[in-house]
Structure 1
Amino acid sequence: MKKIYVIRHCKAEGQLPNAQLTEEGREQAKKLAEFFSGQDIDRIISSPFQRAIQSIEPLSKALHIEIELDQQLTEKVLSNKDMSDWLLKLRDTFTDMTLRFDGGESSQEAMNRIAGVVNRLFDDDKSNAVIVTHGNLLALLLKYYNDEFGFEDWKKLSNPDVFQLTKQANSVTYERLWIE
C-alpha cells in the first residue's frame, strides 16, 4: 500500500519565496524529522520556497535522501496585487473554484497542479514519498479528495501540518497525522 505524506511547511517569517523559518519553525523542522523516524520514505519533494525546503532539511539529512524541488508545489497565487481584504477573497475561491483575481490563479488550476504531482507519485514505482508545500495548496489537495473540505478547514491547518494519503485500488483517502 503506497503512502504519500503531505506536509505544510513550518512557521516562517513571511510569505515571500525567500522567507526563512522562524526560530520556532526551525525547532518544528527538527520535530518533523523525529516524527518521521522509522518511516519508510523513498523520496522527498518540496516547493522551492525557502520555508518549505528548510522545513524538510533535517529529515532529508537524517534519511540521506536528496530533496527534489518541484515548482508545481509553490503556493497558490491569489493575486499579483495587494488586497486588504485578501482573507475574504480567499474564502470566495473555496466556493467558486474558477474565480481568479488579477495576476492570480483559480483554485481549480492550483488544485489540478498539486493533484498532478500526487497522481504521478502514486503511479511511480517507489513506495512512499514526502511532499512539502503550502497551506492553501494543501487545502486544495484535500478538497480534491473530499469536496466538503473548505475555507474553515483551511483555517484550522497548523504550521507544520502532516497528512497521509493512501491509495488502495482506485480510491485515495487521507488522514491528519500531526497533532500539536
Structure 2
Amino acid sequence: MARGRMTAAERGDQLVAAAVTAFAAGGYAGTSTDDVARRAGVSQAYVVRLFGSKQRLFLATLRHAADRIEQRFRAAAADEPTLARLGVAYADLLAERDLLAVVLHGSAASADPEVGAVMRAEFGRIAMAIRELTAATPDQVREFLADGMLLTLLGSMRAVGPGAEPPQPWLVELLATFPEYLRDPSAGDSRR
C-alpha cells in the first residue's frame, strides 16, 4: 500500500535534515529559510509556518545535532561505558561533516542570546550525559570535550576524518598527543 502525505512531524524532520545541510554550508547569518525550503522541496512559506522563523529553525537544528551526538554516545556506552568507547563514537561522527559544522556555526552565532542559551543547554546536556554514561570525573569530561572540539575543528578543515587531506607534520605531532583511541580519526569502525 502506497503511503500518502507526510505527517507534520515527518515534514518537520525533513526540514531539519535540509536545514543541517543548508546551515552547514552558509552558517546562521548566510542561510535563509528559502535556502532550506529549496533543499527540502517545499515552499518558504511552509518552512515559516512550521517553525515560525529562521531562528527557531536554527535552534531546532542545533537541538537535532546535540540529539545525534547524545544518541551516538548512548549507543556506544551500551556496548562499553568508557570514555574511550564514546571517543571512538564521536570520531565516527566526523563522517557527518554537516552535523558537526552546524555545531561550529551554533557556537559562532552564540552572541545571539537565544542561540547562546540553546548552545549552553545542549553542550551541558552532552557533558552530563558523558558523566552519567561513564562515571568520568569533571576533569576527565573537560578533557574529553576539549579533544572532541579540537577534532571537530580539525574535521571542518578536512585535516582528519573521511576524505582528509594528507597530514602535515604539525598534525602528525598533534594527533600523537591524543589518547590512543583517537589517534587515527579517519579509521572509523576499524578501531572497535
**TM interval, short-chain normalised:** 0.3 to 0.5
Q: Which has the larger radius of gyration?
A: 2
Higher relative contact order (CA 8 A, sep 6+): 1
What TM-score, normalized by structure 1, do the two folds share? 0.32
Higher strand share: 1
